[in-house]
Amino acid sequence: MNGSLRDKTYCVWLLPALLLTAGDILAAEIARESNEVAMLVGIPVALQVVPESINLTEPRDSQQMLVTGRYADGTQRDLTRLSQWEVVNPALLHITPGGRATSCGDGTTQCEVRVGELTVRVPVTIRNSGMSQPISFRQEVMPVLSAAGCADIRCHGAPSGKNGFRLSLWGHDPELDIEQLTRDVLGRRTNSLDPANSLILLKALTRIPHVGGRRFDNNSTFAKVIHEWQAQGVNNDPHVAELRWLRVTPSRRVLHAPGRWQQLSVRAEYTDGRSLDVTHLTTFNSTDMAVADVDGTGLVEFHRQGEVAILCRFCGQMESVRLMYISAPPVDFRWPEPPENNYVDHHVFAKLRMLNIAPSDLCTDEEFIRRIFLDVCGVLPTVAESRNFAANTEPDKRARLADQLLQRTEYADFWTKKWMDVLRTSRDAIQLAGASTYHGWLHGQIENDIPFDQVVRQLLTSRGESYKDAAVNFYCVPRMPKKITDPFYLQKDLAEATAQLFLGIRLQCAQCHNHPYERWTQDDYLSLAAFFTQVKRSRIGKAGPSGRPDRRQMAVVLDFDAAEITHESSGEAVIPGFPGEPSPEFDPRKDRRPVLASWLTHRENPFFAKTLANRTWFHLFGRGIVQPVDDFRDSNPSANDALLDALADELVTSGFQLKSLIRTIVNSRTYQLSSAPNPSNQDDERYFSHLLARPLSAEVLLDAITSVTGIPEQFEITEDYIEGVPAGSVKLPLGTRAVELPVNDVVTLINTEGKYVRYELHPFLRVFGQPNGTETCECAREQHFGRKQALELLVGRTTADSVARPDNMLRELMQGSRSDAERLDELYQCGLSRSPSPGDAQKFLAHIADSADQREAWEDILWTVLNSQEFIFQH
pLDDT tier for residue 730 given thresholds of 50, 70 and 90:
confident
Find, among 523, 581, 574, the residue nearest to 172 by Cα.
Answer: 523
> What's the rounded Cα separation, in Å, for the pair 362 and 369?
13
Determine the Cα–Cα distance for residues 430 and 720; give it in Å rounded to an integer: 10
Query: Residue 709 — pLDDT band, cuts 50, 70, 90?
Result: very high
In this prediction, residue 31 carries a pLDDT of 56
pTM of the model: 0.89
Residue 336 to residue 71: CA distance in whole angstroms: 26
Task: Give CA–CA dist 851/849, Å, rounded.
Answer: 6
State the virtual CA torsion across 131, 137, 141, 146 in degrees, nearest 10.
Answer: -140
- Output the pLDDT for position 716: 86
pLDDT at 1: 43
**For the chain, what are the domain ranges?**
5-57+78-126, 137-231, 243-326, 343-411+607-688, 451-600, 695-780, 788-874
What's the pLDDT at 549?
A: 43
Predicted local confidence at residue 295, as pLDDT = 93
Q: What's the average model confidence in pLDDT over 231-241?
A: 90
3-state secondary structure of 539: strand
pLDDT at 519: 73
Give the pairing of strands 66-70 and 76-78. Answer: antiparallel
- For 437-452, the pLDDT digits (tens) are 999 999 999 999 999 9
| 810-860: pLDDT as tens digits | 999 999 899 999 999 999 999 999 999 999 999 999 999 999 999 999 999
pLDDT top residue among 455 and 427: 455
Which amino acid is it at 679? Answer: P
Q: Cis ω on the peptide bond leading into residue 628 (within 30° of 0)?
A: yes
| Those residues with Cβ within 8 angstroms of residue 770's Cβ, 6 or more apart along the chain or in another chain | 697, 698, 699, 744, 761, 762, 781
3-17, 195-209, 531-545, 587-601, range with the lowest pLDDT: 3-17
**pLDDT tens digit string along 277-306?**
999 999 999 999 999 999 999 999 999 999
The CATH homologous superfamily of the domain defined by 243-326: Immunoglobulins (2.60.40.10)
Summarize pLDDT for 536-593 with one digit per residue, the tens. Answer: 998 887 665 554 444 678 999 999 999 999 987 778 899 999 988 888 888 888 999 9
Average pLDDT over residues 343-351: 98
For residues 622 and 701, what is the distance between their CA atoms, to the nearest angstrom? 15
Whether the CB-CB separation of 627 and 615 falls below 8 Å is answered with no
Q: What angle do CA 803, 805, 810 make, to 5 degrees?
A: 65
Dist CA 779 CA 800 (whole Å)? 30
User: Within a 13 Å sphere around the CA of 546, how many CA atoms are in the beta-carbon half?
Assistant: 1
837 CA to centre of own chain: 41
Given CATH 2.60.40, say whether it is the number of domain 5-57+78-126: yes
Burial of 515 (0-12, 13-18, 19+ CB in 10 A): buried
Confirm whether 5-57+78-126 and 243-326 share one CATH topology.
yes
Work out the mean pLDDT of the chain and round it to a whole number.
90
- Whether 614 shows a pLDDT value over 50: the answer reads yes
Res 25: pLDDT:
55
pLDDT score of 20 more than 70: no
Q: What is the DSSP letter of 268?
A: E
- Phi, psi at residue 107, to the nearest 5°? 145, -170
User: φ, ψ for residue 266 (rounded to 5)?
Assistant: -120, 130
d(CA 45, CA 626): 37
Phi, psi of 558 (to 5 degrees): -115, 135
Given this model, what pLDDT does residue 12 score? 41
Residue 272 burial (10 A CB sphere; 0-12, 13-18, 19+): exposed
Distance between CA 665 and CA 767 in Å, rounded?
31
Residue 85: band (very low, low, confident or very high) from pLDDT cuts 50, 70, 90: very high
CA–CA distance, 607 with 609 (Å, rounded to integer): 6
What digits encode the pLDDT tens for the residues 430-484?
A: 989 999 999 999 999 999 999 999 999 999 999 999 999 999 999 999 988 777 7
Is residue 21 over pLDDT 50? no
